[in-house]
């Protein structure tokens, strides 16, 4: 056998449409391509000429799973351009909204998309037949996240209450209070999720990789912090463009990103955990230790455990914000209009999400740049696949394809976001 | 709100041509007032279906379908008795589609006692397009059939 091809034409259990293509020639991997076939959507271009206040609602449409991340990066970048700082209760409410999105997005991935791989089911439906109580727990968690999104955002998908400077309307204490009971249950479910994911049969893998995430002086990062890497990078969001380079690759609709001096890098739960493990709340840190996670986790399969730890972190944080909430005097701070350049990076469930805007004196957007987590991860995912296929060329075709798909799902890629990717093709002529 | 005896749920995205048929039907039904009957629109995640119908005794869902039938064709399925026909209802790449959401609920024994699905064969699903003529003509017919079904259930 001189060569063979693995092709997956429609990757399942990822958000959006993508393909995987691996070509093996003379016993070696000749080519690995993660092809994101979601149509390009040109958000950066269609933002030009729009008012700066529209950016959070327009960019939220990039993703139905993580709209809050787009809203948060957009408002922070605009506030950076306009010299506005949002603090106190408004800042806490933004964190609460982000907690809701993390809980909802991570619960979806852990229970419905990722877990079936570990338990040998083709999908969550088959898994639910044998393990109804487990899936029930996942849906309960997802519902808790949705409840936060609905209460603060006005609705679960594409929330409509976020604006530059704060919110259109902020809840009263009484309106927020019912979340407290739901979050108590969610905390129990989250602790159980960490224990359960840690008990799953876990393939061993140690991925040499540069991790990139936000880091904040005393918080597990959501909205604020420096961009740091496991290679010693430590920059402000406004320096991102000088260190991260995007390039167009012909076979995919998503731009590839590389980091100065490091090449491919990884953002997302593993990166956050590895760079901010010391910023986890004590309960989440204990749960992580109990689950056997070390200070550094470089096994992408274990990302399911890290996501569970992050669900616990977000539930704890959300409960604390709800308990100590004092309604702000006004739902938003005043925002002066002036020309400027603004930069922000926040932590979407899938990792660092960078926005940059230039606006003119009337508040019109002159230029926009958006770098989503999945496009940043593309090259690292391909590297992981290349190493895996190289080491497992002897596997039967179907098994190899199945394992390749699992590798892609380890990264929870959001292909729709990244085009702003998956079919598997393995080519062994 | 839970606790409604019966519920009509229109599924689909009104901004995607004939995918808006679910919303069009429930909007038509909204103009009638029935005690104990809730009328909802749902655009997005199929797992939200279970939350929506929890507590309701009789649920009717209406959605666009692509089965190869003539555009505007109306089909009625008893989803408690058997799964929806494979591939006829929208497959979401983001989360669960209607068929998957119903099967997930069946696996977890979270189906309502009665669950009827009306499918209306779509012709086009382009962004921003209106309902096609065939589907628009089916809207009052489906609404009337659902109204009769609900009247018998409550």
The least confident of A25-39, A166-180, A381-395 is A25-39
How would you list the strands of the sheet with B37-42, edge to edge?
Answer: B37-42, B6-11, B58-65, B114-121, B74-78
Q: Which pLDDT does position A1 carry in this prediction?
A: 43
Half-sphere exposure of A55 (CA within 13 A, CB side): 35
Asked if residues A346 and A76 have their Cβ atoms less than 8 Å apart, the reply is yes
Determine whether the interchain pair A157/B45 forms a contact, defined as Cβ–Cβ distance below 8 Å: yes
SS3 state at A390: helix
Tens digits of per-residue pLDDT, B136-153? 999 999 999 999 998 887
> What's the Cα-to-Cα distance from B1 to each of A386, B36, B37, B39, rounded to whole Å?
50, 11, 11, 11
> What's the Cα-to-Cα distance from A350 to each of A143, B50, B149, rounded to whole Å?
19, 26, 45
Which residues from chain A sit within 8 angstroms of residue B108, using beta carbons? 128, 132, 135-136
Q: Which pLDDT does position A272 carry in this prediction?
A: 98
Tens digits of per-residue pLDDT, A325-345? 999 999 999 999 999 999 999
Determine whether the interchain pair B44/A156 forms a contact, defined as Cβ–Cβ distance below 8 Å: yes
Tens digits of per-residue pLDDT, A307-321? 999 999 999 999 999
Give the H/E segment covering residue B116. Answer: strand B114-121
Cα B104 from Cα B84, distance rounded (Å): 12
Backbone dihedral angles phi then psi of residue B13, each to the nearest 5 degrees: -105, 110
Q: Which pLDDT does position A365 carry in this prediction?
A: 97
In the predicted model, what is the mean pLDDT of residues A257-277?
A: 94
The CATH code of the domain that includes A267 is 1.10.645.10
Domain regions of chain B by residue span: 6-153
Determine whether the interchain pair A135/B43 forms a contact, defined as Cβ–Cβ distance below 8 Å: no
Q: Which pLDDT does position A9 carry in this prediction?
A: 67
Q: Under the phi-then-psi rule, with left for phi > 0, alpha for psi from -120 to 50, and beta for the rest, what region is A16?
A: left
Q: What is the pTM of this model?
A: 0.87
Torsion of CA B24, B28, B30, B33, to 10 degrees: -160
Asked if residues A306 and A293 have their Cβ atoms less than 8 Å apart, the reply is yes
Nearest-neighbour CA in chain A from B47: distance (Å)? 8
Cα A383 from Cα A381, distance rounded (Å): 5
Q: 3-state SS of A146-181?
A: HHHHHHHHCCCCCCCCEECCEECCCCCHHHHCCHHH
Given CA atoms B107, B110, B112, B115 in this order, what sign does their dihedral have?
A: negative
Determine whether the interchain pair A15/B44 forms a contact, defined as Cβ–Cβ distance below 8 Å: no
SS3 state at A311: helix
In the predicted model, what is the mean pLDDT of residues B41-59?
A: 82
Write the DSSP symbol of residue A260: T
Asked if residues A290 and A195 have their Cβ atoms less than 8 Å apart, the reply is yes
Decide: residue A173, CB within 10 A, 0-12 exposed, 13-18 middle, 19+ buried: exposed
Cα A7 from Cα A342, distance rounded (Å): 42
Q: Buried (b) or exposed (e) across A202-239, using 16+ Cβ within 10 A? A: eeebebebbbbbbbeeebbbbbbbbbbbbeebebebbe
Domain assignment of residue A173, given as a range = 3-427
The whole-angstrom distance between residue A104's C-alpha and the CA centroid of its chain comes to 11
Q: Which pLDDT does position B22 carry in this prediction?
A: 93
Determine whether the interchain pair A129/B94 forms a contact, defined as Cβ–Cβ distance below 8 Å: no
In the predicted model, what is the mean pLDDT of residues A287-301?
A: 96
pLDDT value at B131 more than 60: yes
Nearest-neighbour CA in chain B from A242: distance (Å)? 33
- The strand pairing partners of B37, in sequence order, are B6
Identify the CATH class of B6-153: alpha beta
Between B43, B94, B108, which is nearest A128 by CB? B108
The least confident of A224-228, B76-80, B121-125, B149-153 is B149-153
Q: Identify the residue with better confidence: B29 or A424.
A: B29
Asked if residues B135 and B70 have their Cβ atoms less than 8 Å apart, the reply is no
Q: Which pLDDT does position B1 carry in this prediction?
A: 41
Which residues from chain A sit within 8 angstroms of residue B45, using beta carbons? 64, 156-157
> What's the Cα-to-Cα distance from A416 to each of A36, A41, B5, B43, rounded to whole Å?
8, 9, 38, 17
User: How high is the ipTM of this complex?
Assistant: 0.72
pLDDT value at B21 more than 80: yes
In the predicted model, what is the mean pLDDT of residues B93-113?
A: 81
Cα A310 from Cα A104, distance rounded (Å): 11
> What's the Cα-to-Cα distance from A392 to each of A4, A203, A404, B62, B65, rounded to whole Å?
13, 13, 10, 47, 42
Tens digits of per-residue pLDDT, A166-215? 999 999 999 999 999 999 999 999 999 999 999 999 988 898 899 999 99
> What's the Cα-to-Cα distance from A6 to each of A116, A254, A349, rounded to whole Å?
22, 21, 30
Cα A422 from Cα A419, distance rounded (Å): 12
């Amino acid at each position: 056998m001189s060569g063979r091809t693995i092709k997956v034409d429609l990757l399942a259990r990822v958000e959006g449409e993508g393909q995987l293509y691996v070509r093996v020639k003379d016993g070696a991997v000749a080519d690995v391509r993660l092809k994101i076939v979601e149509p390009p959507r040109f958000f950066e271009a269609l933002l030009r000429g729009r008012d700066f206040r529209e950016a959070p609602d327009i960019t939220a449409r990039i993703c139905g799973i993580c709209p809050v991340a787009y809203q948060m990066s957009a408002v922070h970048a605009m506030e950076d351009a306009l010299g506005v700082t949002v603090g106190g209760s408004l800042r806490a409410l933004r964190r609460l909204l982000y907690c809701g999105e993390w809980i909802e997005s991570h619960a979806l991935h852990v229970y419905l998309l990722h877990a079936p791989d570990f338990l040998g089911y083709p999908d969550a439906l088959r898994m639910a037949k044998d393990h109804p109580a487990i899936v029930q727990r996942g849906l309960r968690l997802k519902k808790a996240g949705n409840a936060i999104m609905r209460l603060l955002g006005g609705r679960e998908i594409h929330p409509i209450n976020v604006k530059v400077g704060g919110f259109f309307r902020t809840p009263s204490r009484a309106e927020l209070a019912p979340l407290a009971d739901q979050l108590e249950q969610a905390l129990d479910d989250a602790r159980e999720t960490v224990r359960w994911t840690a008990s799953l049969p876990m393939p061993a893998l140690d991925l040499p990789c540069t991790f990139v995430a936000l880091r904040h002086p005393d918080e597990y990062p959501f909205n604020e912090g420096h961009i740091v890497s496991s290679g010693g990078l430590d920059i402000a969001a406004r320096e991102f463009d000088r260190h991260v380079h995007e390039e167009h690759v012909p076979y995919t609709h998503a731009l590839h990103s590389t980091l100065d001096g490091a090449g491919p890098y990884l953002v997302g739960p593993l990166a956050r955990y590895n760079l901010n493990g010391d910023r986890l709340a004590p309960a989440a840190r204990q749960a992580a230790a109990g689950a056997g996670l070390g200070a550094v986790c470089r096994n992408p399969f274990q990302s399911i455990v890290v996501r569970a730890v992050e669900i616990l972190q977000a539930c704890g944080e959300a409960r604390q914000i709800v308990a100590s909430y004092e309604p702000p005097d006004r739902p938003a701070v005043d925002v002066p209009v002036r020309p400027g350049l603004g930069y922000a990076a926040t932590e979407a469930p899938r990792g660092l999400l960078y926005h940059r805007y230039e606006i003119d004196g009337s508040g019109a957007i002159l230029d926009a740049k958006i770098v989503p987590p999945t496009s940043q991860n593309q090259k690292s995912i391909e590297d992981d696949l290349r190493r895996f296929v190289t080491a497992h060329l002897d596997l039967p075709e179907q098994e190899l394809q199945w394992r390749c798909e699992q590798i892609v799902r380890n990264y929870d890629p959001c292909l729709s976001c990244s085009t702003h990717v998956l079919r598997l093709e393995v080519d062994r002529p | 709100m839970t606790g409604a005896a019966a519920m009509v749920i229109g599924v689909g995205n009104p901004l995607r041509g004939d995918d808006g048929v679910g919303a069009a039907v429930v909007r038509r039904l909204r103009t009638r007032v029935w005690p104990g009957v809730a009328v909802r629109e749902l655009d997005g995640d199929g797992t939200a279906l279970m939350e929506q119908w929890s507590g309701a005794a009789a649920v009717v869902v209406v959605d666009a379908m692509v089965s190869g039938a003539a555009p505007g064709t109306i089909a009625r399925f008893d989803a408690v008795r058997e799964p929806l026909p494979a591939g006829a209802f929208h497959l979401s790449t983001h989360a669960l589609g209607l068929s998957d959401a119903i099967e997930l609920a069946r696996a977890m024994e979270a189906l309502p006692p009665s669950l009827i699905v009306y499918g209306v064969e779509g012709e086009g699903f382009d962004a921003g397009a209106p309902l096609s003529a065939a589907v628009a003509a089916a809207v009052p017919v489906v609404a009337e059939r659902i109204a009769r079904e609900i009247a018998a259930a409550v």
